[in-house]
């Protein structure tokens, strides 16, 4: 499959996801989703080969769906936790922890920061040159699970980006 065809196919899949998520199952939704998909593919894979193979595509798709489900679950659980802290049922003990990214690839680092920051109660605040991200937590005692969460996140990110085995 050619370089351009891979990008256009991925953009089409993103457009279909856009239509489903926004409940705009019409021509306008497809066009808008396709344009957004093309922009996302261009931004994420600018200057490097998009690694989609027919054999690995299903694995990448399944990893993406699982990653999204895990992320949604983490967001819901953390949202409830933050809500309880705001109401005063749980204490707020803020702090900053260093998390090992475990694989310094620009895409993995960016998606790691996104996965951390989108979760309520945590915020990626800085990176260093040694493959670490610094995370501000509302509850420093919950920081013990951040490395475990990163290991799980990395497993799915490698499969999503077709980087497993590297």
140 token code pair: 């420093």
User: What pTM, to 2 d.p., does this model score?
Assistant: 0.68
Mean pLDDT confidence for 69-79: 90
- Is the pLDDT confidence value at 53 over 80? no
What's the CA gap between 62 and 54, in Å, rounded? 13
> Considering the chain, what is the average pLDDT of its residues?
84
Q: Express each pLDDT in 100-143 by its tens digit.
A: 888 777 778 888 888 888 888 899 999 888 888 999 999 888 77
Nearest Cα residue to 105 out of 63, 60, 157, 144: 157
Q: What ranges do the domains of the chain cover?
A: 1-50, 54-166
Within a 10 A sphere around the Cβ of 95, how many other Cβ atoms?
13
Q: State the DSSP string of 65-122.
A: HHHHHHHHHHHHHHHHHHHHHHTTSS--B-EEEEEE-SS--HHHHHHHHHHHHTSTTE
Q: What is the DSSP string of 123-143?
A: EEEEE-TTSEEEEEESBGGGG
């Amino acid at each position: 499959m050619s370089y351009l065809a891979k990008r256009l196919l991925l953009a089409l899949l993103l457009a279909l996801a856009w239509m489903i998520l926004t409940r705009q199952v019409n021509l306008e939704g497809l066009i808008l989703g396709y344009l957004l998909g093309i922009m996302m593919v261009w931004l994420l894979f600018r200057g490097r080969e998009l690694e989609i193979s027919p054999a690995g595509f299903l694995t990448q798709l399944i990893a993406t769906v699982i990653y999204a489900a895990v992320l949604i679950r983490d967001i819901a659980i953390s949202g409830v936790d933050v809500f309880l802290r705001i109401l005063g049922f749980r204490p707020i003990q803020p702090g900053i922890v260093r998390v090992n990214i475990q694989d310094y690839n620009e895409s993995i680092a960016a998606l790691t920061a996104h996965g951390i920051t989108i979760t309520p109660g945590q915020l990626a605040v800085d990176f260093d040159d040694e493959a670490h991200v610094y995370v501000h937590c509302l509850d420093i005692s919950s920081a013990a699970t951040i490395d475990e969460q990163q290991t799980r996140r990395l497993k799915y990110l490698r499969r999503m980006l077709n980087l497993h085995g590297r």
